[in-house]
Amino acid sequence: MVVAIGWAQSRPGTPLPNMQEIAQSLGVECQYCHSAQAGSGQPEPRKDIARAMMAMTRDLNAKVQAGTGKAAADATEVKCITCHRGVAIPKQLSEIITRTLSKDGAEAAVSQYRELRSRYYGHQAYDFGEDTLIGIAERFATARPDDSIALMKLNVEFYPQSARSLASMAFAYTRKFDDRTAISILEEAVKLDPNNGIIQGQLEQLKSFQRRR
């Protein structure tokens, strides 16, 4: 949603938006849209996207005003930050990591998570809580247990007291038919959260299953 100066100048009567505010909303610098050398005539596709997004924002604000019957000064205003929250591509962290994991594997997903966390942690951009990676790992545990394990090892690195991360990791190990490792991990999870009946039940069930085998 970063705007090009030429766009504002091409629309008589349209004030030039605060480009610094827009850039901050996306967490980018001017070069993100202004990627070509001035006067080169090279395409700058992100400018086209910016123009479309600005038009969409104007349309949304007009609809808000019409729907609420409020004047522009009183109606809630949709801005770039409303969706982008300081990131260039406004997607949920779980969606971003899942896509990378599916396409490029665990190593790429782990690297991307580290980079995004280093850049955006503490901001309003992404949810870096322990549940994000747990949810992804659980979806991949059966078909790709090694990838699931890699994500849970990463989660434990940032949340060393997360018994749920250990439980998810243990489940992935059972998908690799490595019950011994899974039991060991579940025992550590129980130590961290001794009142968690679900994890205790998983541990006892797995021990019983292993004995019967």
- What pLDDT score does 132 carry? 96
Please tell me which residue, 154 or 84, carries the higher pLDDT value.
Answer: 154
What's the whole-number mean pLDDT along residues 12-37?
71
Q: Which two tokens stand for residue 7?
A: 């766009």
Residue 212: count other Cβ atoms within 10 Å of its Cβ: 6
Res 93 pLDDT > 70 = yes
Average pLDDT (123-127) is: 82
What is the helix, strand, coil percentage profile of the chain, to 5? 65, 0, 35
Count helices and strands in the chain by DSSP H and E runs:
11, 0
pLDDT of residue 211: 58
Query: Quick one: tokens of 200?
Result: 């205790």
User: Regarding predicted confidence, which is higher, 106 or 75?
Assistant: 106
Checking if the pLDDT of 125 tops 90, the result is no
The rounded distance, in Å, linking the Cα atoms of 138 and 207 is 21
Average pLDDT over residues 158-182: 97
What pLDDT is attached to residue 213?
56
Secondary structure (DSSP) of 100-166? HHHHH-HHHHHHHHHHHHHHHTTSSS---SHHHHHHHHHHHTTT-HHHHHHHHHHHHHH-TT-HHHH
Domains and CATH numbers, the chain: 5-84 (no CATH), 93-212 (1.25.40.10)
Q: How does pLDDT run across 48-84, given as a tens digit for each residue?
A: 888 898 889 899 989 999 999 998 888 888 888 888 8
Kindly state the average pLDDT of the residues 42-50: 87
Better pLDDT: 21 or 60: 60
- 179-192 helix and 197-212 helix, angle to the nearest 10 degrees: 160
pTM: 0.70
